[in-house]
Amino acid sequence: MHNLVIMESPAKANTVKNYLGSSYKVVASKGHIRDLPKSSMGVDIADGFKAHYINIRGKGELINELKKDVKKADRVYLATDPDREGEAIAWHLVNTLEIPKEKVKRVTFNAVTKNVVKDAIKNPRDIDMNIVDAQQARRILDRIIGYELSPYLWKKVKSGLSAGRVQSAATKIIVDRENEIRAFIPKEYWSIDVELISSDGKHFIAKFIGRADKGDKLDINNEKEAKAICSAIDGKDFYVYDIKSGKKLKNPQPPFITSTLQQEASRKLNFQSQKTMRIAQELYEGINIGSENGGSHGLITYMRTDSLRISEEAQTAARDFIINKLGKEYYPQTPRIYKIKSNAQDAHEAIRPATEMYEPSSIKKYLTPDQYKIYKLIWDRFIASQMSSAVLLTNQIDLTCEGYLFRASGYTVNFPGYMSVYEESVDEEKEEDKQTKIPEAEKGQWLKQSKLNPAQHYTSPPARFTEASLVKFLEEKGIGRPSTYATIITTIISREYVKRDGKSLVPTNLGEITTKLMSTSFPDIVDYKFTAQLENGLDDIENGNRSMISLLNEFYGDFKNELDKAMDDKTTENIEVPPEETDMICEFCGSKMIVKNGKFGKFAACPRYPECKNTKPLVKKETKTVKEQDVKTDMKCEKCGADMVLRSGRFGSFYACSRYPECKFTKQISKEIGVRCPVCGGQIVLKNGKNKSVFYSCSNYPKCDFSSWDMPTNEKCPNCGGMLYIKKGKNYLYCKNEKCKFKKEQQEKNSNEQ
């Protein structure tokens, strides 16, 4: 063997393996192979913040195999992900596997396609220690805060709590929003709409603006003011005072970056951030799109990026597609270039389809439904971002009646431009953004009144954060980086500082109390401005403008002083977290039942324990047919769209529609093994059969009925090109083609069984 390529992901390794010749062996580290220990801090602060890394438990066998591969290789290409974590993993591989310096080559690629991969192999570089130090600084900061601050929370609140550099700031953002909502005092205001009849008999709506003589906006604060205006104009004709018509260009949005992809997937597809990133990772690493398309291909560029840069090659491909598919008028005179933020990491491009530009409809049959939705979303957004602007015809009519000014405005689409492919969704559509067409009118004309509609309103409090709006806020304030947004949200929910209420993120009692305590004793940790400054400091390390030690020293001095002061403070009493109330009423004493944690999870209990020992199972019943033991999931029924729940049955757990028995759709729990279905290109998954047996099936079942008792592999038969299988209970590979009868002993343990 001449060349060894080490990647992070087995799926990506399988894709790249097809692009390189027989002189390359491609293997996967399956993420980090060493890290700080879990049993201790692992950072010697007195010795210049020296990190003591250990091999991750369970990776010993993999490390030994990688060491053997390294010894056989003339060159070792470290092709881990093109970000801080990937650079750090490459550095850890060099140290753990003891790779000689002269053997090591670092390669990165923004898309997993044949040309990009081969070009990267031809242009290797050294490991960038500035990027490694930026990752180490982040890891050490998080470890110090977690290990030194968490005991304070155990002492003051309860055991098992944790604090984090970013999670604490994110929790405070949600708590602050909740406090704003509670403190909000609604204010009354009124609107007056009048329905008018044009000269050709068409009805349209004009809205009250203010006084006609001053032309300024007049707020109507109460019913008395509204009645006075209505009394003056009721039944009167309206005079067309002014007409304005024009054209307006509406420009497309730029291609996706990590944050905007997560936001749009949340709005359009109702996907959680973690799910969006998981699917995007699959599309980036490679999907088998059929032998006619050359097998496995990475379908999108790297999905962790905050850059809007697009390569010339991608721009040319988009231009050719737009002109050939839609026409020359749909492509602008010059290619669109989007301004990149000053603090953006410009190492990667924006998220876009990979260079081959497979149209979504052409490869839909090879993708899972969720993969197709995300790929189409990325495709549509990218193509639209390179297209001509939409041309809108705007029309505004100002009308007067008894000294009051009313206005009717609207627009129609004259040329759709990019809107024929894609339109960005918004959290809340404004009235003026809705397409409306108002009738023709002439200046000086009098129009008849049809109906008068006064309406009372109250100002609304600020909306709770959703995943989409929180990601947007984190990005705007510089908290976290593209690779961390999904993890931040997952962490604060899993640690029960925040909970989901529909799409909204709501702080728990624990989250509010912890935030209050942290704000008093450690104001910097929960201050998002301070958190953003630390992120900028990490960027400075990556760019070579600052040392890792200087940032850690600067942080730790102030942090240590705050920690010592807080631990010695005898005035701060231990805090008891109020229990979470339920909507259930105890049938014995009438008390409102609360949530308790037990050996088998959460349950509802009477708050008057031990006087009243009533308990009940705690379930969120979406429908009357959801059983008490059901566990709600974020999956939807593929037949009726209802929520899917996790149930226990005779042969183990499975997913079922919550509307059973009206809908009897079920789905087995399965585990992907990193192999593509030879029939349709879907994922091969491991499933449970009867009597605790297991078998292999296609994830697209029942659309694809492929199944096998023996394990499929990514290896192809050298005789007929078919898929090779591992014989159950045996140590050999074989081809199922009866005419072929190929068989060989396994030389090494299959990576999917490790």
Total domains in the fold of the chain: 6
Residue 592, helix vs strand vs coil = strand
Average pLDDT over the chain reads: 86
Mean pLDDT of 48-76: 94
Is 651 contained in some domain?
no
How far is it, in rounded angstroms, from Cα 75 to Cα 163? Answer: 43
Give the single-character DSSP code of 320: H
DSSP string, 371-413: HHHHHHHHHHHHHHHTSPPEEEEEEEEEEEETTEEEEEEEEEE
Residue 239, helix vs strand vs coil = strand
Are residues 77 and 160 located together in one domain of the fold? Answer: no
Residues 6+ apart with CB under 8 A from 609: none
Is 652 contained in some domain?
no
Tokens standing for 707?
Answer: 């199944």
Are residues 272 and 381 located together in one domain of the fold? Answer: yes
How far is Cα of residue 380 from the mean position of the Cα atoms in its chain? 18
Residue 197, helix vs strand vs coil = strand
What is the structure's pLDDT at 623? 36
Are residues 528 and 619 located together in one domain of the fold? Answer: no
Domain end residue (candidates: 568, 595, 625): 568
Are residues 44 and 96 located together in one domain of the fold? Answer: yes
What's the CATH number where 327 sits? 1.10.290.10
Q: Is the confidence at residue 621, as pLDDT, over 50?
A: no
What's the CATH number where 159 sits? 1.10.460.10
pLDDT tens digits, one per residue of 450-494 = 999 999 999 999 999 999 999 999 998 888 888 889 989 999 998
Are residues 12 and 95 located together in one domain of the fold? Answer: yes
Residue predicted with more confidence, 208 or 483? 208
Are residues 194 and 280 located together in one domain of the fold? Answer: no
Are residues 35 and 122 located together in one domain of the fold? Answer: yes
How far is it, in rounded angstroms, from Cα 586 to Cα 602? Answer: 17
Q: How far is CA 722 from CA 151, 281, 298, 742, in A?
A: 58, 27, 22, 10
Residue 98: Cβ within 10 Å count: 10
Q: Is the confidence at residue 221, as pLDDT, over 90?
A: yes
Are residues 11 and 120 located together in one domain of the fold? Answer: yes
Least confident of 71-80, 132-141, 387-396, 721-730: 721-730
DSSP string, 672-741: EEEEE-TTT--EEEEEE-GGG-EEEEETTTTTS--EESSEEEEEEPTTT--EEEEPTTSSEEEE--TTT-
Q: Which helix (H) or strand (E) holds 279?
A: helix 273-285
Q: Is the confidence at residue 622, as pLDDT, over 50?
A: no
Is 176 contained in some domain?
yes
What is the structure's pLDDT at 626? 39
Residue predicted with more confidence, 224 or 602? 224
E strands of 21-113, at which residues?
A: 24-28, 34-35, 43-44, 50-51, 54-55, 75-78, 104-106
Residues spanned by the domain of 295: 263-385
Residue 564: Cβ within 10 Å count: 10
How far is it, in rounded angstroms, from Cα 212 to Cα 403? Answer: 5
What is the structure's pLDDT at 749? 37
Is 29 contained in some domain?
yes
Per-residue confidence band for 175, with pLDDT thresholds at 50, 70 and 90: very high
Q: How far is CA 706 from CA 619, 683, 711, 750, in A?
A: 37, 11, 12, 22
**Is residue 302 annotated as a catalytic residue, yes or no?**
yes
Domain end residue (candidates: 385, 408, 432): 385
User: Starting at the edge strand that comes first in sequence, how are the strands of the sheet with 743-745 ordered?
Assistant: 711-716, 723-726, 732-735, 743-745
How far is Cα of residue 388 from the mean position of the Cα atoms in its chain? 29
Q: How far is CA 390 from CA 29, 256, 735, in A?
A: 48, 19, 56
Are residues 13 and 112 located together in one domain of the fold? Answer: yes
Is 15 contained in some domain?
yes
Are residues 43 and 153 located together in one domain of the fold? Answer: no
Is-contact 716 730, C-beta < 8 A? Answer: no
Q: Which helix (H) or strand (E) holds 155?
A: helix 129-156
Is 658 contained in some domain?
no
What percent of the chain has a predicted confidence (pLDDT) above 90?
Answer: 54
Q: Is the confidence at residue 629, as pLDDT, over 50?
A: no
pLDDT tens digits, one per residue of 715-746 = 888 887 788 888 776 667 888 887 777 887 75
How far is it, in rounded angstroms, from Cα 657 to Cα 664? Answer: 6
Least confident of 70-79, 306-315, 425-434, 709-718: 425-434
Tokens standing for 120?
Answer: 């990267």
Domain end residue (candidates: 568, 597, 625): 568
Annotated catalytic residue: which of 19, 77, 302, 485? 302
Are residues 519 and 557 located together in one domain of the fold? Answer: yes
Strand-pairing partners, residue 401, are: 404
pLDDT tens digits, one per residue of 102-113 = 999 999 998 898
Residue 246: Cβ within 10 Å count: 10
What is the structure's pLDDT at 652? 52
Q: What angle do CA 289, 295, 300 make, to 5 degrees?
A: 60
In terms of average pLDDT, the best of 177-186, 565-574, 616-625 is 177-186
Q: Is the confidence at residue 624, as pLDDT, over 60?
A: no
Is-contact 110 313, C-beta < 8 A? Answer: no
How far is it, in rounded angstroms, from Cα 685 to Cα 671? Answer: 5
Are residues 454 and 505 located together in one domain of the fold? Answer: no
User: Starting at the edge strand that comes first in sequence, how are the strands of the sheet with 694-698 ordered?
Assistant: 670-676, 683-688, 694-698, 707-708
Give the single-character DSSP code of 670: E
How far is it, in rounded angstroms, from Cα 331 to Cα 73? Answer: 49
Residue 171, helix vs strand vs coil = helix
Is 257 contained in some domain?
no
Amino acid of residue 578? P
Is 664 contained in some domain?
no
Longest dimension (CA), the chain: 95
What percent of the chain has a predicted confidence (pLDDT) above 70?
Answer: 90
Q: Is the confidence at residue 596, as pLDDT, over 90?
A: no
Residue predicted with more confidence, 575 or 706? 706
Mean pLDDT of 636-643: 75
